[in-house]
Amino acid sequence: MTKTCLLAAMLLALATPAMAQDEPPTPDSVVAAAAPEEWQRIAPEDLLVMELAPAADGTGRKVVIQLLPPPFSQPWVEDIKTMARAHWWDGKSVYRVVDNWVAQWGGGDPELGMDPGPLPDGVVSPTDSYMIGFNNMGSTVKASPTLTDHYAPETHFEQGFAVGETIAEQMTWQWPVHCYGSVGVARELAPDTGTGSELYAVIGHAARQLDRNIAVVGRVIEGIEHLSTLPRGTAEAGVYAERSEDTPIVSVRLASEMRQPPAYEYLDTSSDSFARYVEVRANRSDSFYAVPAGGVDICNVQVPIRRAE
């Protein structure tokens, strides 16, 4: 490093696309141009609506979670639905928030002064299986554009969710990955200790090292800011030091059991528009961008989701 200099403006000029007659596409413009049939309705039985106690200024705080649909739903998803139907989370709390990591909620730990109480009838025993396998060897059909990855041999999207994939024993194995907003099943050290009654959402950089180590069961599709803006916990592992710091959960309901459920749709991740969206995200050439990245990581491809009628 004998000489330091600034990059000649020339190089930058080379990287700047010539001004086109038409404004280059943006991720938003691609999504706006998607055909109506490229949008997929999210089933109301896959939507979990968590209402937190209002903020100090009275603002309502609703967090909407899309649970993984079949066949990607993991054994916990059915248990989570059972717990929601039993109103198990009502009166529980968000008790742990770690910056650039997770916000966690549920019944909590008696050792921390919480009283989770017994789980509702019908919740099955925990399991430590958190990959889903398909014997689709030989199939060349891909559900979405494929992205290289640091943490998995391959990543792509299935039914609107980012998944990692590997091949073993002539089977294709897939697993939902941890991106911003992903919701997973908290557990203790042993892999079979998560029941689904304690959940977390990622509120920072993709926590991909958790992939295949903790089960992802869904993602926040609306209201993540009500979790990501919560004060960070100061006790061990980011748990709040005092129970008075917890954010109470008013209710958690399946949209399918609500009188006026919110409705959403996502851009079909096997659609042409989604493929174009990924391409444009990887190669921004609209007015703000002088140097297109030429690539994108799976967690930087947020699946477009919108409210439905």
Residue ranges in contact with a copy of itself by CB under 8 A: 1-7, 9, 11-12, 56, 71, 75, 99-100, 127-136, 139, 147-151, 168-169, 173, 179-181, 189, 191, 204-209, 211-213, 224-225, 228-232, 281, 284, 287-291, 293-297, 299-300
Q: What minimum distance in Å lies between the beta carbon of 272 and a copy of itself?
A: 21
Q: What minimum distance in Å lies between the beta carbon of 131 and a copy of itself?
A: 4
Which of residues 86 and 131 has its CB atom nearest to a copy of itself in the complex?
131
- Give 76-113 as a DSSP string: HHHHHHHHHHTTTTTT-EEEEE-TTSEEEEES--GGGT
Is residue 199 within 8 A of residue 106, CB to CB? The reply is: yes
Q: What minimum distance in Å lies between the beta carbon of 22 and a copy of itself?
A: 17
Find all residues with CB under 8 Å of 180, minimum gap 6, and list them: 202, 203, 204, 205, 206, 224, 299, 302
- Give 139-208 as a DSSP string: ----SS--B--SSSSEEEEETTEEEEEEEETTEEEEEE---TTEEEE---SSTT---SSSEEEE-SS--G
Task: Output DSSP code: residue 290.
Answer: S
Q: What minimum distance in Å lies between the beta carbon of 199 and a copy of itself?
A: 17
Task: Output DSSP code: residue 132.
Answer: E
Which of residues 17 and 91 has its CB atom nearest to a copy of itself in the complex?
17
Which of residues 5 and 18 has its CB atom nearest to a copy of itself in the complex?
5
Rounded CA separation 166/232 (Å): 36
Which of residues 245 and 257 has its CB atom nearest to a copy of itself in the complex?
245
Rounded CA separation 152/213 (Å): 13
Residue 63, SS3 per DSSP: strand
Which of residues 85 and 281 has its CB atom nearest to a copy of itself in the complex?
281
Side chain identity at residue 178, one-letter code? H
Is residue 137 within 8 A of residue 170, CB to CB? The reply is: yes
Q: What minimum distance in Å lies between the beta carbon of 168 and a copy of itself?
A: 7
Which of residues 225 and 272 has its CB atom nearest to a copy of itself in the complex?
225
Q: What minimum distance in Å lies between the beta carbon of 136 and a copy of itself?
A: 5
Which of residues 86 and 143 has its CB atom nearest to a copy of itself in the complex?
143
Q: What minimum distance in Å lies between the beta carbon of 119 and a copy of itself?
A: 21
The enclosing H or E element of 9 equals: helix 9-15
Rounded CA separation 169/84 (Å): 37
Q: What minimum distance in Å lies between the beta carbon of 229 and a copy of itself?
A: 5
Q: What minimum distance in Å lies between the beta carbon of 16 and a copy of itself?
A: 8
Nearest alpha carbon to residue 196 among 80, 48, 73: 80
Nearest alpha carbon to residue 183 among 59, 77, 308: 77
Which of residues 39 and 76 has its CB atom nearest to a copy of itself in the complex?
76
Is residue 170 within 8 A of residue 138, CB to CB? The reply is: no
